[in-house]
Amino acid sequence: HYGAIINIGTNLFQNPVVPYHEYTTAKAGLIGFTRNIAAELGQYGIRANVVSGGLLKTTDASAATSDAVFDLIEQTIPLKSVTSPQDVAHMVAFLASERATGITGQNYTVDGGLTMN
């Protein structure tokens, strides 16, 4: 009677700055799917949420991103820091913990404040 499903999304859903149509559409669908299973599985004590990261520094997916792009992000977002994989991992760990037992059906964006909901 306890569980946590945590799906990984993207902030491109809120801010489609690159034309990754298929990727962004799939991630938008993942948010809808997560909300549906949150509603369905809540009765069993199972929570479902999405953690959506921004451009992460540095992963295999962002290895080709230039330093100039990372510098621009650092200058323009409120926290003045590019999101790290650890930033996203901390949110995942929180949502998996007992501290988040009252949270389900949400999309949490971890991107230094680039997108705000």
Cβ neighbour number for residue 25 with a 10 Å cutoff: 13
- Is residue 35 within 8 A of residue 50, CB to CB? The reply is no
Q: What is the helix (H) or strand (E) element at residue 39, kind and residue range?
A: helix 21-41
3-state secondary structure of 76: helix
| 25: Cβ contacts below 8 Å, ≥ 6 apart | none
The one catalytic residue among 2, 23, 44, 108: 23
The answer to whether 23 is a known catalytic residue is yes
Q: Give me the active site residues, please.
A: 23
